[in-house]
Structure 1
Amino acid sequence: MSPARTDGQDDVRATFVLVPGAGGQAWYWHRLVPELERRGGTAVAVDLPAGDDTAGLERYTQTVLDAAAGSPGGPLVVVGQSMGGLTAPLVCTRRPVDLLVLLNAMVPRPGETGGEWWAATGHEAARAEAARAHGWPLDEDAFIHDVPPEVLATAPVPFAQSGTPFTEPWPMPGWPDVPTRVLAGRDDRFFPVGFQRRVAAERLGLPVEELPGGHLVALSRPVELADRLVGSLAALPAP
């Protein structure tokens, strides 16, 4: 059961376009969507063509754009989780977006492929170092350690992910000119928060905002995530 809200936020007039990570399933957001809607927001959870080897970053981007095409007025927030960090910034170059949120996300550089990203950021060493420091077993699934078993029991199968998007150079010459916030689960065992902090500083010059939860925070801590996303709207300029 989700914990009760304590922030008093409600009546949010914004649309949140939710871009999933590897596997590309809108199901990943199914606990977050009602929390955002309960606050008055509109939530668009996107299914990506993750199992299609002919689909690359352009198709992923167009899929998100198509899903968001009918969104109502008000601020538009694009949220990219994990691998969704490759696609979410591209969406921002194709339609007006008020806020881009990276959630435990990959942060690409121009011309870098998703496959190159792992070595370029030192991910493997950073993950091993965090595991030693915290006593996390490296041979344990780093994604689901804090997701309730009853939630996992409803997961669609399989979580297929084509390698095609990881072979393509990230096509933008630079980061889009859109306000960007970086959220990181402080219990993330796959992208440890210290690793995310370093990558965000090096590649975006931005700080990381921590929140409770692991890599799949939308499944493990949907209330806290919804509160943080809604709270991010306060920093946007008044219409």
Structure 2
Amino acid sequence: MRHGEPATFVLIHGGGSSSWDWHLVAPLLRERGHEAIAVDLPIEDDANGLSEYADAVVEAAAGRPNVVVVAHSLGGLTAPIACSRTPVELMVLVTAMVPLPGESMGAWWSATGHSELGLAMDTKKQVIDLFMHDLPVELAQEALRHGRDQGGGKWDEPSPLEAWPDVPTRFLLCRDDRFFPPEFMRPVVADRLGIVPDEIDGAHSVMLSRPAELADRLHRYWTERA
């Protein structure tokens, strides 16, 4: 890799979401000279789990130069598996789950203590309050319309992740996040990654509320890495 080369950002959405989540960030990354590929994970099929999600990321990255895997929320469980299966220059976790080797999607919540936060998301209002309270009402409603069913057939299947991949990793924490609050995430990141997270203003859906700031961060992570 030569200094100044553009990156290929492979963007992973969170649970019950889609590539649409990145529709504001992707063009901004292209304006900064990079390629951006937002992946639709095969989440709706109960037959699929983390291994199949990772395969979708690997397929999207195949043959691309200077790959940076960026994962949001539940996508954080997929990212390190994908990074262990394909050449990657950098991994960026954006207010994302940080797994331990072998940890299932279902086990993470109690293992980290998140289940003890007692967060309710039974209604659309509760979902908006937790995930996107800083979005304009119209954009929040549109985000809900682009949601997809999150299959649970392999929710308790152990992750195929055997060890954290040998890939430089950054974690970006959102200061206004109510779903993964900063006071919850900071010790999780310290314990599981051994790093201090970077921080940005914004709630859980920061790619929709602050796309330019997020694109700038991702671009800077790449140039600093290079």
TM-score (norm 2): 0.89
Tell me the SS of whatever aligns to 1:154: helix
2:199 is the counterpart of 1:210: yes
Per the alignment, residue 132 of structure 2 pairs with: 144
Per the alignment, residue 39 of structure 1 pairs with: 32
Tell me the SS of whatever aligns to 1:21: coil
Per the alignment, residue 109 of structure 2 pairs with: 118
Q: Is the 8 A contact 2:110 2:116 kept in 1?
A: no
Per the alignment, residue 10 of structure 2 pairs with: 17
Cα deviation for residue 168 of structure 1 reads: 1.6
> Superposition pairs for residues 1-239 of structure 1, below 5 Å?
13-71=6-64, 73=65, 75-126=66-117, 141-155=129-143, 156-236=145-225, 238=226
Q: Is the 8 A contact 2:68 2:89 kept in 1?
A: yes
Q: Structure 2: how far apart are the matches of 1:212 and 1:163?
A: 32
Tell me the percent identity.
Answer: 51
Structure 1: which 5+ residue stretches go unaligned?
1-10, 129-136
Matched residue type, 2:28? E
Q: Structure 2: how far apart are the matches of 1:27 and 1:36?
A: 15
Q: Structure 1: how far apart are the matches of 2:115 and 2:28?
A: 34
Kindly tell me the number of residue pairs found equivalent between the two proteins: 217
Post-superposition Cα deviations, 1:22-43, rounded to whole Å, max 9, x if no partner, equal 0240001001111111111100
Post-superposition Cα deviations, 1:86-139, rounded to whole Å, max 9, x if no partner, equal 1011111111101000111111111221111111111133577xxxxxxxx988
Q: Does the C-alpha gap of structure 1 residues 152 and 205 become closer, same or farther in structure 2, counting only changes over 3 Å?
A: same
Q: Is the 8 A contact 1:23 1:50 kept in 2?
A: yes
Q: Is the 8 A contact 2:90 2:167 kept in 1?
A: yes
Cα deviation for residue 158 of structure 1 reads: 4.4
Q: Name whichever of 103-112 and 183-192 sits farther off.
A: 103-112
Q: Is the 8 A contact 1:12 1:230 kept in 2?
A: no
Q: Does the C-alpha gap of structure 1 residues 224 and 158 become closer, same or farther in structure 2, counting only changes over 3 Å?
A: closer
Q: Structure 2: how far apart are the matches of 1:222 and 1:204?
A: 25
Q: Structure 2: how far apart are the matches of 1:104 and 1:165?
A: 23
TM-score (norm 1): 0.84
Q: Does the C-alpha gap of structure 1 residues 20 and 158 become closer, same or farther in structure 2, counting only changes over 3 Å?
A: closer
Structure 2: which 5+ residue stretches go unaligned?
120-124
Q: Structure 1: how far apart are the matches of 2:21 and 2:85?
A: 24
Matched residue type, 2:166? D
Q: Structure 2: how far apart are the matches of 1:16 and 1:124?
A: 32
Cα deviation for residue 157 of structure 1 reads: 4.2
Per the alignment, residue 122 of structure 2 pairs with: none
Q: Structure 2: how far apart are the matches of 1:32 and 1:164?
A: 31
